[in-house]
């Protein structure tokens, strides 16, 4: 029996007994998974047992640290970078709110290193919709870094930046349930973003995930989960927010009215396939859309602008986001991203 097999079996035994792994034990387990030395059955057993027990801050941190260490890193001198990658898994087919929010936040002066993938919970993930908008998503780490330096925003396609995750692909797909892997993508930004708006599907875990972000060294973060099941700030119900700021963590609820927005039914922010969502994003960014889609994007973009340090309050961030929509800056930022990534595609 190999040392790796013994480590996996020991971890599984502890988890089945309801015992927590230490940060070091969790990291050792993830390292075996990422190196391809764990069997699909071992991977499925460990992540299922973790889910049933409930993942701790130490366990998630240990897994995330290993995944970060094995990623293709974007080298940049810029600091104060923001990510808007969420967990997905909400089961609600909404349009791509965090993707639109990232573009608006960049237009407002936040440096955005967006990390994302193809669809998990909806019909179109951030990679799908950006591709439909005309953005080249297949950038190398060097190209993403150049994009970030020149226009203040880049997109990092998770599949290209986390090659070691291929070892977990089969058990993830065959399990078909939420596991720790759903949380890891947003915790492993390849550019080392130290500010984040992170939406999660499980409202009971906002403080845990915010605690992990603190352990991973983030300066500012908001982990959000709405009472109506969105992994976004909602305009249909209160949203629970766990905010990390100045080393302190506080959790509170906020309503659309407190954000200065009117409420809309959840059904008014649903999306479709990548082409449908791309058209919706263009309508929002151009200022043509004045209803529910604009409101929910402004709420989440405002949070990005606030966490990114450009606005002093969430409400100020929302006002600035709306200004970016109305004065053409957000639409112009999308065109910049399309042009810049297109140029990268033609450089040998």
Per the prediction, the chain carries an average pLDDT of 93
Residue-wise over 296-331: b if at least 16 C-beta within 10 A, else e? bbbbbbbbbbbbbebbeebbebbebbbebbeeebbb
Per-residue pLDDT averaged across 305-328, rounded? 98
Q: What is the pLDDT of residue 122?
A: 54
On the question of pLDDT at 121 being above 60, the answer is no
Rounded to whole angstroms, how far apart are CA atoms 123 and 329?
Answer: 28
Average pLDDT over residues 244-261: 96
Lowest mean pLDDT among 11-15, 17-21, 199-203, 222-226: 199-203
- Please provide the size of the chain in residues: 348
pLDDT score at 236:
96
pLDDT of residue 76: 87
Span 262-284, average pLDDT: 94
Third-level CATH fold of 3-69: 1.20.970
Answer yes or no: is pLDDT of 348 > 50.
Answer: no
- The phi and psi torsions of 272 (rounded to 5 degrees) equal -140, -135
Q: Give the model's pLDDT for residue 172.
A: 86
Query: Where do the structural domains in the chain lie, given as residue ranges?
Result: 3-69, 82-338
Query: Which pLDDT does position 176 carry in this prediction?
Result: 84
What per-residue confidence (pLDDT) applies to 182? 86
Q: Average pLDDT of 238-244? A: 98
- At 120, the pLDDT band (50, 70, 90 cuts) reads low
Tokens 């957000």 belong to residue:
330
Q: What is the pLDDT of residue 169?
A: 86
**Contact call for residues 281 and 129 (beta carbons, < 8 A):** yes
Region of poorest pLDDT, from 86-100, 143-157, 219-233, 249-263: 86-100
* Residue carrying structure tokens 């260490």: 69
pLDDT, one tens digit per residue, over 321-338 is 999 999 999 999 999 999
**pLDDT of amino acid 78:** 84
Q: What is the mean pLDDT of residues 158-169?
A: 89
Q: 243 by DSSP, 3-state: which?
A: strand
Q: What is the mean pLDDT of residues 88-105?
A: 84
Residue 286 DSSP one-character state: T
Give the CA-trace dihedral at 30, 142, 199, 280, to 10 degrees. -140
- Whether the pLDDT of residue 214 is over 70: the answer is yes
- Quote the pLDDT of residue 5: 76
pLDDT of 89 > 90? The answer is no
Please tell me the class of the 82-338 domain: alpha beta
Is residue 93 pLDDT above 70, yes or no? no
Split at pLDDT 50, 70, 90, the class of 154 is very high
């Amino acid at each position: 029996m190999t040392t790796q097999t013994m480590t996996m079996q020991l971890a599984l035994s502890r988890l089945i007994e309801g015992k927590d792994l230490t940060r070091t034990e969790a990291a050792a387990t993830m390292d075996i998974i990422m190196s391809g030395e764990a069997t699909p059955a071992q991977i499925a057993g460990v992540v299922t047992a973790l889910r049933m027990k409930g993942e701790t801050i130490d366990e998630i941190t240990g897994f995330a640290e290993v995944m970060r260490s094995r990623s293709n890193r974007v080298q940049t001198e810029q600091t104060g970078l923001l990510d808007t990658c969420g967990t997905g898994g909400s089961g609600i087919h909404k349009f791509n709110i965090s993707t639109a929010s990232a573009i608006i936040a960049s237009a407002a002066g936040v440096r955005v290193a967006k990390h994302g993938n193809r669809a998990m919970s909806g019909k179109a993930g951030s990679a799908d919709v950006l591709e439909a908008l005309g953005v080249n998503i297949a950038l190398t780490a060097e190209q993403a870094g150049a994009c970030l330096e020149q226009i203040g925003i880049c997109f990092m396609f998770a599949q290209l930046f986390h090659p070691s995750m291929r070892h977990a692909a089969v058990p993830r797909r065959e399990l078909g349930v939420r596991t720790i892997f759903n949380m890891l993508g947003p915790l492993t930004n390849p550019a080392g973003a130290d500010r984040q708006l992170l939406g999660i599907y499980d409202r009971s875990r906002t403080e845990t995930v915010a605690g992990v972000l603190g352990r991973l060294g983030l300066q500012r973060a908001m982990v959000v989960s709405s009472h109506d099941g969105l992994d976004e700030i909602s305009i249909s119900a209160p949203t629970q927010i766990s905010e990390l700021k100045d080393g302190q963590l506080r959790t509170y609820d906020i309503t659309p009215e407190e954000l200065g927005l009117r409420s809309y039914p959840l059904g008014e922010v649903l999306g479709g396939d990548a082409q449908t969502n791309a058209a919706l994003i263009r309508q929002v960014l151009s200022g043509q859309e004045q209803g529910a889609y604009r409101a929910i994007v402004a709420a989440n973009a405002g949070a990005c602008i606030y966490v990114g340090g450009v606005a002093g309050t969430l409400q100020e961030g929302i006002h600035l986001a709306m200004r970016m929509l109305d004065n053409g800056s957000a639409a112009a930022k999308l065109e910049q991203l399309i042009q810049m990534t297109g140029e990268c595609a033609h450089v040998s």
